[in-house]
Every structure is written in C-alpha cells, then in structure tokens.
A and B are shown apart, each in its own frame.
Chain A
Amino acid sequence: MFKQKSILFLMFAVVLMMFSVFGCAPQAAPPAEEPEQVLIGIMLPTTGAVAENGIDMENAIKLAVSEINAAGGVLGREIITTTADDGCDPAMATAAASKLIAEEVVAVVGGFCSGATLPTLTIYGDAGIPLVIAAANATTLIAENPGWAFMINSTGDMQAEKAIGWFQERGVETIGLIGDGSAFSADLVAITREQWEAAGKQVVTDDTVSPGEMDFSALVTTIMAANPGGIYWTGYHAEGALITMQLREAGYEGVIIVSDGSSAPAFIELAGPHAEGVYCTAPPFADFLPAAQSFIADYQAMFDRAPGAYAGLSYDAMHLLADAITRAGSFDGAAIRDALAATDGFEGISGEVMFTEENTLGRSNFVLLVAQGGSWVLAQ
C-alpha cells in the first residue's frame, strides 16, 4: 500500500517537474498580446559586467516606444516590448534569441556585444525575424549576416578612418593603440593599425588591457617611454577615463582620441578636468540636432539619469523599425526586412540612415567630438 502511494507520488512529482519546466518556459513572460498590440523583442545585456550599457539602451528603446505609442502606435497597433537578457555571453544570447522567437516577436532591436550578437544572426535569419542592431559593429557580423540583421552603428572601418584623419590633420607621426580585449575593440585596433600603416606611418605601442582593471601605471610608463604623438583608445568609458587621467597626470601631452565606446557623458564626468581636449570618434549625437535636445531631456525625465553612449542609436533603432513596419504595411518579417533594406532618407538623431548591400550603414556617421567645458562638442 505504502509502496503504491510512493510510486504514484514519485511519478507525480517527476511529471510535475517536467511540466513546470516545459510548460512554463515559453510562457515565462510574453505579455499577453491583444489584437491591437504588436510585440517587439529587445535583446541586450541587462546583467553582467556591461549591464550599464544594456540597461541604458533598453531605456532609450522604451522611450522611443512610448513616443510611438503616444502618436498612435504603428499601423494602428500599440507596441509592447519584451526584453531578453543576453548577458554579453554567446551561449546566453542564443537562448535569449530563441526565447524571443518562441514568444513570437515581430522583430528585434538590440545587440550590444558583438561577440554575443554574432551567433544569434543565423537564429533570427532562420526564423525570419528582422534584427536592428543598435550598437554591435564588429566586422565579423557582416560576414555572418544571413541578411536579416541591419547594423545602424557605423563599422570599424569608418570609425578608424575618422580617427586617422584627425591624427594626420594634427601632424601626428606615430600613434599608440590601446584595446580592451573585446571583439569590437580588437577589431577596431586591427583596422586602425592596417590603415595607419598603409599610410606609411608607424604604430609604436599596441597594448591590450583587461576590462575592470584600474591601475594602468605600467601601461602609462610604457607609453611615456615610447612617446607616440597620438593615442587611440578603442574600449569603453570606464577604463578610458582612467587611462586618460593617468596619462595626463604622467605628463602625456599628445593627442588622445577615444572610440565611440567611450562617448558617454560619463567619460567626462569620470575623467574630470583631465578630459579637457580629449577627442572622440562618435556617432553624431547630443547637441547637434534639435531633435536630440528634447531626447536628452525626455530621457532624463523618464529615467532620472543622463543617456549613455548608445542611447541615441537605440532610440533611432526603434524609430527606424517602426518606420520600416509602416512602410512595409504589414507585420510580416520578410516585408519588414525588405522595407529596412530600402530605407532612404530616414533621419535619426544620430544622423541619416541608409543601408549598403551588406546591411551596414551607407555613409559614415562618425563625427569628431572634443571634450570642452565639461561636455562633448563638435570638433570640426
């Protein structure tokens, strides 16, 4: 008698566990979709070491969504979003992508870490879901793109070009490159080196630091010894600010340029007075378009903090997607993809959007900023 009961109990427990696993999973969090709503997926690192950027981008996307909905939604329907955390990890990203597809999103916006976004491209492609990549821009993404992903952040080529152009304008003969070992940073360093050496010039130092590192004294000493005319930092603002401070304190007087990873206002805040005169290759943002001013104010009002480096691009990505859906006239994945590819003359706050055949940005959006008086302003 007891044994039978236990058997039953056991079977029940096992079955319950199995069903809780599988029954729950797809329904874990998709917002109930009513006929008047459309579900858009957001894939970003909202936990982990780069959570700051992921959260910032998610905020910007939600701001855009609220604006679109206030203006009547897209094709008459209200947009609701669901966020899947990719944790800047390739394996987690594939799970995130699968989850979004299971929730039957119409399209996805996001993609911060290039390494994590890479394996999701084929997943979205196979499922016929368009992806607008707001920030990730390593060149490896281009090769692996089956055609359903669109990158609205200019690639490394254009960014390197901008930096090199400025170095040359300032008469710099030798440069030092610093990366942080991430896919995007290493990519940019390689491209810059290639272009610089193709111009017949020398790269005298090429260093890689670890993210999270705070002490760069050894690096600084090495750079001071080699004394390049210019330094290009290709990583994010946390280490960028520290490196800048430590270089300047050591008496380094050359030209310092930082990449778009460090274009957040936080860079200036962290580097303090040493940020003055530092240049930045960045997507045009902030003070350069009237529309951007209200974006900053709205973002500040809604989230009680200043927008980060990729907030503008994420905001644009969402608006672009809404625009494409409207042009496509339907929620069909292929139609949206075609509409995205045909984008012409879309003005985002980061500049005009137009795609090449490889689904990368048609013209370089990058501008050169300089830190002056506590904020970024256009340098040229």
Chain B
Amino acid sequence: MAETKMKEISLKPFERGTERLFELFDNKIVLISYIILTLVFLIYLPLNSSRFTQQIMTNFFFFVVVCLGLNIIIGFAGLLNLGYAAFIAVGAYVTGILSATYGINFWLTLPFSIVAAIIAGLALAGPTLRLRGDYLAVVTLGFGEIVRFTARNVEFTGGAVGLIGIERPVFFGIVLNQITHFYYMFFILALLAIITSYRLRASRLGRAWEYIREDEDAASAMGINVVSTRLYAFIIGSCFGALAGSFFAVKMTAISPESFTFIHSVMILLAVVLGGMGKIPGVVLGALFVTLFPELSRGIGQYRMVIFAFVLLVIMLYRPQGIWPDRQGISTKL
C-alpha cells in the first residue's frame, strides 16, 4: 500500500541488532551479572552523588512504579486509561488525611490506601468495562478530573490549598526525612513493582489478560470471564498507583490537587507507550526518559518542552511500538 512505504526504512537493521542483544541475554550468566551490576550500582549511588541526582532517581523510581501500574491496565489488559493520576491521588490523600488530620502512623495508612485503591478501581471500572475502548478513554479522563476537582473543592481534603503537615514516617526509630531515605524507599518499591509485574505476567491472570487482548471472543469461549479479569487489571493497576501515592505524600509532606492533573496522567501514559506497552523493561526505559529528559535538558531553557515534544514525535513516527524492541521480531501490526 502506497502510504505505508514511507516509514519502513529504519526498522530492519535496528531489529537485527537488537535480536543479537537478546541472544546475548539468553545466556543466563550474562543476564544475572548485568542485573547484579545494575543493582549494586544503584545501591551505592547515593553514597557519592549529589542531592539533585538522588532527587531525580527517586522521582524515576516513583515513576517506574506508576508506569508499571498503568502498564498492567493498558499493556497487559489492553484497556485505555487517561486518568491514572486519580489513583495516585487517592493513595496520597488517604495517607495524607489519616496522617495529618488523625495522626495515624504512616505504615498503618498503607492498608487503607490499598482499600481505597480497590474501591476506586471498582468504582471506575465496574460500570464502564463494557464500553468500547475509546469511550473508556473519555470516561477515565473524566474520572481523573472528577477526583481532582473533588479534592480541590472539598474541605476534608484541604481544598485547593491541599494538605500540609504530613508526618514523616518512622522506621525502627529513625525518622525518614532525608532524600537518601526516600531514595531507598522508592528503590525498593520500584523493585517490588518490577518483580510483581513479571510474576503477574507469568501467572494465570497474566495469561488471561494476554488472551483477552489478542482475541476477546476466543478467550470468552474458553471460559475466561472477560469482565472480571479486566476488573482485576484495573484494581491491581490502581493499587500500584495508590501505594506510590502514599509514599509520595510523605516525601512531599504537603500535597495539593495540582500534583494530579490530566497532564500528569498524560506523562505516565507517554512513558508507557514510548517504552513499549506491555514490555516491562521498555516501560522502565520509558519512565527513565520521561523523568530524565526535563532534568537533563534544563540547560536548554525555554526551548526544552518544544524539543521534548519534537523528540517524542520523531520516536513515535519511527518506532510506534515503543523503543524497546520486540522479542520475536513482530512487525508493526497491531
């Protein structure tokens, strides 16, 4: 077809090169040593880098958790969600309110955060799962805005000014208030998120998601309850977000509705699609890009966002399936 010939150029050599890369990693020793190397590097990082670097890496780890959460919804289960920030907000506000207003110990707020996430996931997904994909996009967007406006208008959540005075958590007697503490907290969260994602993908639920994504009718015919399986995706995805949100709240000690806008949801979505939907290392890479780019390009000044948008556009045009390469060399077919 005439129109698709335009951009087929760059994929073949790239695919071949990365195929080799993957063959490389098939060797267990290589893979494990690489992982260990990275882990060691990340663990020792805070010891000789600046606050700024730690701050960025902490943001990156936070982003990894939320991107993996969204990845479960859109990458694994194939559902659209344009209002993911709402789940993060739920977790953040639950922790914030319980901690600042009621003085509850941070660690105790986490279960509440999860419960709230489940409720939010149910509330959003329950009535809307039968909708077609694009309608779902609009509904999730609307949900995100509803949550934000509610947080802004209601006194209980601090109104537009938000919540302040959220207590820093205490861990075996140490008050966690240094950036290094948060670096490790989020690092562990990110690791947990990555491991959980892999386990989920390999589990029956994960396979069910993949099945539904590929062919809904066949999956249904095989006895998979499509609606409840998708519901699980929403709920688990929202739990990731809420947990991340809770930790976010104590890191910032003050939260306001401005941190959970549509733009934030878009950035998370961007990271997931950019990295490669459904591919866990790809999502991590996408998170890295979205977190790092604004920071590294601070030197460019005002042109920063224009360049970011431009780079994004170019990447999408040449690698629509995301940066991370496909394993089996599947082409760009949906």
Note whether A and B contact each other (Cβ less than 8 A). Answer: yes
B326 on interface, CB distance cutoff 8 Å: no
**A95–B52 contact, CB under 8 A?**
yes
Contacts of B296 in A (CB 8 A): 21, 24-25, 28
State in angstroms the CA–CA spacing of A99 and B162 once bound together. 25
The distance in angstroms between the C-alpha atoms of A101 and B56, with both chains bound, is 13
Binds A, one of B73-81, B134-142, B272-280, B299-307: B299-307
- Please report which residues of chain A, range 107-150, place their CB below 8 angstroms from some CB of chain B when the two chains form the complex: 113-116, 118-119, 122, 127, 138, 140, 143-144
Residues of B within 8 A of A37 (CB): none
A289 within 8 A of B: no
In the complex, chain B residues whose CB is within 8 Å of the CB of A84: 298
A197 to B150, CA, bound (A): 25
Produce 1/0 per residue, A61-100, CB < 8 A to B: 0000000000000000000000111001111101100110
**Which residues of the partner chain B approach A98 to less than 8 Å between Cβ atoms?**
50-52, 54-56, 179
**A187 to B38 alpha-carbon distance, docked (Å):** 47
Chain B CB within 8 A of A288 CB: no
Q: What are the residues of chain B within 8 A of A83 when measuring CB–CB?
A: 301
Say yes or no: B161 contacts A186, CB within 8 Å: yes
Proximity bits, B253-288, A CB within 8 Å = 1, else 0: 111111100000000000000000000000000000
Contact: A89 with B52, CB < 8 Å? no
Interchain nearest-CB distance for A224 vs B (Å): 23
Residues from chain A with Cβ under 8 Å of B124 in the complex: none
A11: which B residues are within 8 A, CB to CB?
34, 37
Interchain nearest-CB distance for A28 vs B (Å): 5
B53 touches A25 (CB 8 A): yes
B37, B256, B298, B304: which contacts A183 (Cβ < 8 A)? B256
Are A26 and B160 touching (Cβ within 8 A)? no
Rounded to whole Å, the gap between the CB of B309 and the closest CB of chain A is 12
A127 to B55, CA, bound (A): 14
- Evaluate whether A10 and B24 lie within 8 angstroms (CB atoms) in the complex, with A119-B254, A140-B164, A182-B160 already known: yes
- Which residue of A3, A89, A144, A183 contacts B24 across the interface (Cβ within 8 Å)? A3
Q: How far is the CA of A3 from the CA of B50 in the complex (A)?
A: 36
With a cutoff of 8 Å between Cβ atoms, the chain B residues found around residue A47 in the complex are 302, 304-305
With both chains docked as a complex, state the minimum distance between the C-beta of B277 and any C-beta of chain A, in angstroms. Answer: 22
CB pair B52 A6 closer than 8 Å: no
Whole-angstrom distance from the CB of A87 to the nearest CB of chain B? 8
Q: Do residues B164 and A143 form an inter-chain contact, with CB atoms below 8 A?
A: yes
Q: Within the complex, which residue of B50, B162, B257 is in contact with A26, where a contact is CB–CB below 8 Å?
A: B50
> Which residues of B have CB within 8 Å of A103?
52
Residues of A close to B41: CB separation below 8 A: 18
Q: Which residues of B contact A90 (CB under 8 A)?
A: 252, 254-256, 258-259
Smallest CB gap from B38: residue in A = A14
Q: Which residues of A contact B51 (CB under 8 A)?
A: 98, 101-102, 127
B258 to A: closest C-beta gap in Å: 5
Residues from 309 to 349 in A contacting B, C-beta threshold 8 Å:
none
Verify A10–B52 contact, CB threshold 8 A.
no
Instruction: Assess whether A53 is interfacial by the CB under 8 Å rule.
Output: no
* Contact of B24 with A115 in the complex, beta carbons under 8 Å: no
On whether the beta carbons of A99 and B52 are closer than 8 Å, the reply is yes
Report the separation of the CA atoms of residues A118 and B163 in the bound assembly, to the nearest whole angstrom: 11
- Tell me, yes or no, whether A7 is within 8 Å of chain B by CB: yes
Chain A residues whose C-beta falls within 8 Å of the C-beta of B257 in the assembled complex = 181
User: Is the contact region of chain A dominated by helix, strand, or loop, or is it mixed?
Assistant: helix
The chain B residue sitting closest to A94, CB to CB, is B55
- Shortest Cβ distance from A209 into chain B, in angstroms? 12
Question: In the complex, A221→B142 CA distance in Å?
Answer: 26
Q: Is A195 interfacial (CB 8 A cutoff)? A: no
A182: chain B residues at CB < 8 Å are 160, 258
Closest to B291 in A: A95
Q: Is B153 an interface residue (CB 8 A)?
A: yes
Distance in angstroms between the alpha carbons of A186 and B149 in the assembled complex? 13
Nearest CB in chain A to that of B152: its residue: A181
The B-contacting residues of A in range 159-207, CB under 8 angstroms, are 179, 181-183, 185-187, 190
Hey, which chain A residues are within 8 Å of B179, CB to CB? 98
| A29 pairs with B299, CB closer than 8 A | yes
Check if B45 is an interface residue, CB within 8 A of chain A: yes
A355 CB to nearest B CB, Å = 21
Answer whether residue B103 sits at the interface, using C-beta atoms and an 8 A cutoff.
no
Is B295's beta carbon under 8 Å from chain A? yes
Evaluate contact between B50 and A102: CB separation under 8 angstroms: yes
Most buried by B among A101, A116, A118, A143: A118
Are the CB atoms of A122 and B253 closer together than 8 Å? yes
Q: Is B165 an interface residue (CB 8 A)?
A: yes
Kindly identify, within residues 290 to 334 of chain B, every residue whose CB is under 8 Å from any CB belonging to chain A.
292, 294-296, 298-299, 301-302, 304-305
Q: Say yes or no: is B159 at the interface (Cβ < 8 Å to chain A).
A: yes
Asked if B258 and A28 sit within 8 Å, CB to CB, the answer is no
Give 16 new A-B contacts, CB below 8 A, not counting A11-B37, A95-B52, A187-B161. A3-B24, A6-B20, A11-B34, A22-B53, A28-B295, A83-B301, A90-B252, A92-B294, A94-B55, A98-B52, A98-B179, A113-B258, A143-B165, A179-B160, A183-B256, A208-B153
Binding site for A on B (CB under 8 A): 20-21, 24, 27, 30, 34, 37-38, 41, 45, 49-56, 59, 152-153, 159-162, 164-165, 179, 248, 252-259, 292, 294-296, 298-299, 301-302, 304-305
29 A-B pairs whose Cβ atoms sit less than 8 Å apart in the complex: A3-B27, A6-B21, A10-B24, A11-B34, A14-B37, A21-B296, A22-B53, A24-B296, A25-B50, A25-B53, A28-B296, A88-B258, A89-B259, A90-B252, A90-B256, A91-B252, A94-B252, A95-B59, A98-B56, A99-B295, A102-B50, A115-B162, A140-B161, A143-B164, A181-B152, A182-B258, A186-B161, A190-B159, A208-B153
Pairs A-B, 8 closest by C-beta atoms: A186-B160, A102-B52, A98-B55, A29-B299, A102-B50, A98-B52, A115-B256, A183-B161
Chain A residues within CB distance 8 Å of chain B: 3, 6-7, 10-11, 14, 18, 21-22, 24-26, 28-29, 46-47, 55, 83-85, 88-92, 94-95, 98-99, 101-103, 113-116, 118-119, 122, 127, 138, 140, 143-144, 179, 181-183, 185-187, 190, 208
